[in-house]
Structure 1
Amino acid sequence: MTPTAVGPATGSPFAHPALFYRDDQEYLAGTVPFVREGLAASEPVAVAAPAARLELITAALGAAAAAVHLVDITLAGRNPGRIIPTVLRAFADAWTGVRVRIVGEPVRPGRTSPAYPACVQHEALINEAFSGREVTILCPYDARSLPEDVLADAHATHPVLITGGREWSSTTYDPDKVLARCNEPLAPPPGAAAFHYDAKALPAARDFVLAQARKRGTSEVRLQDLALVVAELTTNSVVHAGGTGTVRLWAEDEQIVCQVQDFGRLADPLAGRRPADPGQIGGRGLLLVHCLSDLVRLHTDDAGTTIRTYVSRV
C-alpha cells in the first residue's frame, strides 16, 4: 500500500507518513509509486533527498522524472531549521487548489550528534507547519543503518508508518513530547569567549564576535554571514527580550559556534521556520539566521532563551 491522502486521526487533510526501508529495492518500492500516483493525478511532486537517492528515483522514473522538482537535501537541508521555509513551504506555497506531494529525507545516517536534535525537531514541527493543508510529506528512514532511538523518534513524529507495503497508525505519535525533550539546555564549554551587551553595545558585540572568529581562522566570506547572524540575534535581545544579553563564541572542529543568551521566552515554536510574506514588515531575523547558519539549536523557558548557531570557518 502506498500513502496517498491519509492524515492524522484528527481528520486533517495533511498527511505525514514515515517510510521504513532496508535496501534500495524497498526504498524505490515505497517512493516511486508515491511519486507516480501524484503525477497521474496532476499533483505537483517534489523529492528532497540525498543525491544518491535522487539518482535512484530519477532512474526508476525515466522520462517522468522531468516533471518532478528535485532537491539535494544534504545541501538545502544542511541546517534542518531551514527545510520547512526554503524547501517544503517554498514548493507547497507555489501551488493552490491542488494536493501537493513531497518526499523528504532529512534524517539520514551520518548526521552529527549536535545536528540530530534539530532534525527530530524539524520532523515534529512539520505537523504544525502544515496542519489543515492539502499536502502529503513522505519521510523515508533507513531502518538498516539508523539507530533504534532514531527510528523510535520517527514513530513519535509521524502519525502513519509504512514498512514493506504495510501501513498503520503509530501508537506512539506525540510530537509535542518530542519537542519538549529536545528543548534541552545549551551550556557553553569552559573558556568560551564572552561579551555582555545592551543597546549601546550592539556594535561592540558584533565586533567582538568577528574578532574572535577571525582569530580562529574564519574566512572573510563566512565572517560576513556571522556578522549578520550576531546582529540579528543581539538586536532581538535588546528589542524583544529585556534589553540585554550575552554572546559567547568558541570553535568546534571546522565550525565557529556563536551562542546568544537573553531573558526572553520564545513562545512560537515555528519562529524562523516560516517563509516571510512579500509585504511583511520585520519578523525575518530568525529566518535569516536559519538561512545563513549550518546548524541552529535553541532552548527556551521562563528563565530565558539561548540560541546556538554553527557556521563553518571556510
Structure 2
Amino acid sequence: MNAFTGTGDATGRGGAPGPYAATGRDALVHRALLHRTDREFATAAVPYLREGRRDGDALVVIASAAFGDLLREQLGERDAAPIEFPDRDAWFAGPMHAFAAYHDRARADWWPRGRLRLLVQPVWEGRTALEVSEWKRHEALINVMFAGTPTSMLCAYDAAALPGGVLTDAMRTHPELQDAGGVHPSGRFTDPADVYAECNAAPLAPPPPDAARRIFASGELPGLRAFLRGEAVRHGLPDAACLPFVLAVNEIATGIIRDGGGHGSLWVWTEGRELVCDLTDPAFALDDRFLGYAPPRGGRRGEAAMWAVRRLCHIVEIRSGAHGTRVRMHVRLPG
C-alpha cells in the first residue's frame, strides 16, 4: 500500500458518477434545508421522515439533542421508533471521520435494508477556517461518492444563525434546496470537482522556523518512525494516538520512496491544538482527484493508502504540481 500510485477518481461504488440531481428510488438525493425557525425545520423534516417510514427506508437522524427531542415530539412514539439517532458530536468529529462512518454503516447496515434516508444537521460552530473549508469539500464530495446509491440526504442549515458564507456554500454543494417556498433546484450548484479545486487553490504556508526537520530516503524508515514517535510524545500526543500518526506518515514516506522521487523531507510542529506533519517529494506530481475519500476498489493501492491515511488523521491537505508534492497531515492534540 502506498499513496503514490493509482488515481483518485472514485465514486464509492466503483462506477462513474451519476447525475447529481437524478430522480428515482435508487438515485442519490442531496438537498439543503434552509430554515429560520424550529417550526420551519419540523415542517420539512417530519413529512420527510414519515414518507421514509411509509416506504420502509432505513431512517437515520444525526442532529442536536434539541432537534432530536423536537422530532420525537412531533412524530410521536410510533413514527419515531424506527429512527436511529447517532451522537451528532461524535459523528461529525472530523470530515473524514464522518465520510468513513457513512461508508461503513451504509454498506454494513443501512443499504442492505433498502433505501437510506438521512436527516443531518452539520456542525459549523467552533470550526477553524481550515475545518470549514474541509467540511465544504465534504458536502461537495457527497454528490460524487454516493452518486448512484439508494440514498436520500436532507442537510439542515439554520439560515438565521449561520454565517452567510456557509449558506452560500450550501447552495453550491447541494443540487436541491428546500425552504419555506418548497423544493427547487439550486441555481448556484457547482461541479464538485470545481469546489474541490477551490479548496486546494491556496498554497500551504511553509513550516515554521522551529519545526523539527528530517530528510529520508530508502532504508531510513525505521529511524524516521522513531523520530516521529519521539516528536509526537514531546508535543503531548497521547500514546493511543501516536501509532496512528506514525503509521499515516510512514505510509506517505513509503510511497515517496517506492513510487515517487525516492527521497523526501519531513517537518513536524504544533499549530494551535494540532500536531502537524509535512512531507515533500520534490520530483513527483500526485494525481489528487478525490483521492482517498472512498474505500479502495480492487487492487488500487494508491486509493487504499490514501483512504487509510485520511482515516488516521483529522485532516490531510495535498498540494501537487510541477514542483513536486506536499502532503500535510493534521492530528488533534488533547486539551
TM-score over 0.5 for the pair: yes
Query: Structure 2 vs 1, CA of residues 68 and 307 (structure 1 numbering), >3 Å: closer, same or farther?
Result: farther
Q: 2:198 aligns with which of 181, 185, 189?
A: 181
CA distance in 2, matches of 1:107, 1:185: 26
Residue aligning to 2:327: 307
Verify the 8 A CA contact 1:18 1:140 in the aligned structure 2: yes
Q: 2:29 aligns with which of 7, 11, 15?
A: 15
Instruction: Kindly state the Cα deviation for residue 134 of structure 1 after the two structures are TM-superposed.
Output: 2.4
CA distance in 2, matches of 1:188, 1:227: 21
Q: 1:32 aligns with which of 16, 23, 46?
A: 46
CA distance in 2, matches of 1:127, 1:284: 21
CA distance in 1, matches of 2:186, 2:163: 18
CA distance in 1, matches of 2:279, 2:89: 26
Is residue 2:142 matched to residue 1:129? no
Q: Secondary structure at the match of 2:220?
A: helix
Instruction: Kindly state the Cα deviation for residue 268 of structure 1 after the two structures are TM-superposed.
Output: 5.0
Q: Secondary structure at the match of 1:144?
A: coil
Is residue 2:271 matched to residue 1:257? no
Q: 2:56 aligns with which of 14, 18, 42?
A: 42
Instruction: Kindly state the Cα deviation for residue 276 of structure 1 after the two structures are TM-superposed.
Output: 5.0
Instruction: Kindly state the Cα deviation for residue 149 of structure 1 after the two structures are TM-superposed.
Output: 1.5
Query: Structure 2 vs 1, CA of residues 17 and 106 (structure 1 numbering), >3 Å: closer, same or farther?
Result: same
CA distance in 2, matches of 1:284, 1:102: 27
CA distance in 1, matches of 2:315, 2:246: 16
Q: Secondary structure at the match of 2:165?
A: helix
Query: Structure 2 vs 1, CA of residues 272 and 176 (structure 1 numbering), >3 Å: closer, same or farther?
Result: closer
The one-letter code matched in structure 1 to 2:147 is S
Residue aligning to 2:85: 70
CA distance in 2, matches of 1:14, 1:177: 20
Instruction: Kindly state the Cα deviation for residue 172 of structure 1 after the two structures are TM-superposed.
Output: 1.5
What is the percentage of aligned positions where both structures have the same residue?
A: 32
Is residue 2:135 matched to residue 1:119? yes
Q: Secondary structure at the match of 2:219?
A: helix
* TM-score, normalised by the number of residues in structure 1: 0.86
The one-letter code matched in structure 2 to 1:211 is G
Q: 1:61 aligns with which of 55, 61, 75?
A: 75
CA distance in 2, matches of 1:52, 1:29: 16
Verify the 8 A CA contact 1:8 1:159 in the aligned structure 2: yes
Instruction: Kindly state the Cα deviation for residue 10 of structure 1 after the two structures are TM-superposed.
Output: 5.7
Post-superposition Cα deviations, 1:149-189, rounded to whole Å, max 9, x if no partner, equal 22111111111111125221111211332111101322234
Structure 2: runs of 5 or more not aligned: 1-18
The one-letter code matched in structure 2 to 1:261 is T
CA distance in 2, matches of 1:240, 1:58: 53
Question: Which stretch of the first structure deviates more once superposed, 154-163 or 55-64?
Answer: 55-64
Count of paired positions: 307
Is residue 2:307 matched to residue 1:287? yes
Structure having greater relative contact order (Cα 8 Å, sep ≥ 6): 2
Post-superposition Cα deviations, 1:238-280, rounded to whole Å, max 9, x if no partner, equal 2333222222211122221122222444435333222357x86
CA distance in 1, matches of 2:141, 2:171: 14
The one-letter code matched in structure 2 to 1:296 is V
CA distance in 1, matches of 2:296, 2:66: 32
Is residue 2:254 matched to residue 1:240? no
Question: Which stretch of the first structure deviates more once superposed, 88-97 or 167-176?
Answer: 88-97
* TM-score, normalised by the number of residues in structure 2: 0.81
Residue aligning to 1:228: 247
CA distance in 2, matches of 1:298, 1:226: 17
RMSD: 2.6
Is residue 2:81 matched to residue 1:81? no
Residue aligning to 2:236: 217
Verify the 8 A CA contact 2:62 2:119 in the aligned structure 1: yes
Residue aligning to 2:13: none
Question: Which stretch of the first structure deviates more once superposed, 28-37 or 153-162?
Answer: 28-37
